């Protein structure tokens, strides 16, 4: 009786992680989906532990975070794991998206669209979490980013006041940011389940970009063991960073309490937002910069509607491969430019790189279509 009562749930789990038909030729680049699931679990668990010892108040947050390092058993470990886990989460996300762009996974519209929504929610959650320690960069980062909404015509000022909960970034802002940061990861978990549902309904792509319906194997044990090896290789550098240099990726300014009367010399977000920050600063007009910032991520929604090619992916398109790897270089250069002050020559460099970034999404379809006709 018990087995029959739980059999629908058991069958879902069994189909998801054991008997799922999987293309026999998918490579290590397909490991990042499971790695992102592991990262999400790590972030939720470590975040729950940290939330037990956090007070969302502008007079207390900074000191509570510092005090908990010494007074709460292993709190420093969870804090370092949570902070660096966010960086590794974004590394996995960007590699997962790059694999999807290279191998044409965006042809599965539902899977791709839900994935882009997950990216947007994760970015929002990461921004909200960065504000919580209430250091200098946290405070001023929140001030700068929320102030961007003032560029919206007519309703901009009202939206900013609504986000702040007052007329400046203050206690109300921190309280609602903490609440949202707590809730959003669970929304990501739900979206990840929807992402997997569509993926299993439509099937995975493969490096050759051809139908794999007649050449599949069960997920377990072939890919379960492969994913476990990937998790070990992924967690190794993360643990090394946590134990040997936990604040390497942090900003020194954030070890100073947030002060609205002292503006940091150079305000910048975490490294995983620097490419978008560079695009924002590349546009002189404030509204234009906000539109460009949003378009830098929302342009991914366009890919399922780009011109179709005979073969999924870029493996057999030399011109498309050249464009793709050029775009990867542009992404790294934008990240570098975003970390530099707003002065020449970095402004001009950011403008050129921003143009090249968006040019990729415009040109990749026509370039591959031309190669289709030549072949």
Catalytic residues: 200, 204, 226-227, 270
Dig out the tokens for 352 from the structure.
């050129």
Tally of CB atoms within 10 A around 73: 8
Instruction: Compute φ and ψ for 180, nearest 5 degrees.
Output: -65, -40
Dig out the tokens for 124 from the structure.
């929002």
Q: Which residue has the tokens 């389940």?
A: 193
Positive or negative torsion for Cα 227, 228, 233, 237:
positive
Each residue of 4-43: b (16+ CB within 10 Å) or e? Answer: eeeeeeeeeeeeeeeebbbbeebeeebbbbbbbbbbbebb
Consult the annotation and say whether 15 binds a ligand: no
Consult the annotation and say whether 195 binds a ligand: yes
Answer whether 62's CB lies under 8 Å from 257's CB.
yes
Is 112 strand, coil or helix?
helix
Consult the annotation and say whether 181 binds a ligand: yes
Dig out the tokens for 288 from the structure.
């234009």
Residue ranges of the annotated binding site are 82, 96, 181, 195, 200
> Which residues are part of a known binding site for a ubiquinone?
200
């Amino acid at each position: 009786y018990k087995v029959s009562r739980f059999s629908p749930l058991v069958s879902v789990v069994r189909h998801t992680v054991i008997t799922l038909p999987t293309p026999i030729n998918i490579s290590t680049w397909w490991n990042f989906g499971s790695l992102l699931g592991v990262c999400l679990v790590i972030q939720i668990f470590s975040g729950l532990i940290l939330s037990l010892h956090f007070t969302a108040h502008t007079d207390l947050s900074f000191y509570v975070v510092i005090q908990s390092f010494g007074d709460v058993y292993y709190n420093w470990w969870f804090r370092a794991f949570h902070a660096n886990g966010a960086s590794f989460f974004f590394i996995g996300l960007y590699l997962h998206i790059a694999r999807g762009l290279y191998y044409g996974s965006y042809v599965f519209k539902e899977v791709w669209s839900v994935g882009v929504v997950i990216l947007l929610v994760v970015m929002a959650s990461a921004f909200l979490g960065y504000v919580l320690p209430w250091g200098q960069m946290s405070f001023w980062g929140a001030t700068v980013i929320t102030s961007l909404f003032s560029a919206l015509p007519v309703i901009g000022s009202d939206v900013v006041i609504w986000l702040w909960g007052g007329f400046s970034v203050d206690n109300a802002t921190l309280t609602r940011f903490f609440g949202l940061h707590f809730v959003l990861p669970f929304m990501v978990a739900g979206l990840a389940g929807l992402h997997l549902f569509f993926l299993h309904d439509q099937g995975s792509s493969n490096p050759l970009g051809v139908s794999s319906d007649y050449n599949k194997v069960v997920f377990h044990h072939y890919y379960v063991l492969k994913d476990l090896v990937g998790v070990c290789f992924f967690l190794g550098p993360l643990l090394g960073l946590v134990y040997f240099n936990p604040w390497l990726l942090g900003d020194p300014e954030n070890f100073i309490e947030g002060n609205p009367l002292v503006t940091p010399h150079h305000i910048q977000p975490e490294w995983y937002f620097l490419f978008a920050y560079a695009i924002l600063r590349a546009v002189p007009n404030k509204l234009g910069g906000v539109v460009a910032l949003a378009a830098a991520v929302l342009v991914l929604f366009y890919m399922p509607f780009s011109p179709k090619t005979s073969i999924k992916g870029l493996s057999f398109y030399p011109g498309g491969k050249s464009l793709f790897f050029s775009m990867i270089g542009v992404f790294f250069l934008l990240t570098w430019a975003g970390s530099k002050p707003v002065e020449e020559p970095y402004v001009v460099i950011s403008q050129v790189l921003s143009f090249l970034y968006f040019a990729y999404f415009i040109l990749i379809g026509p370039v591959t279509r031309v190669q289709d006709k030549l072949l």
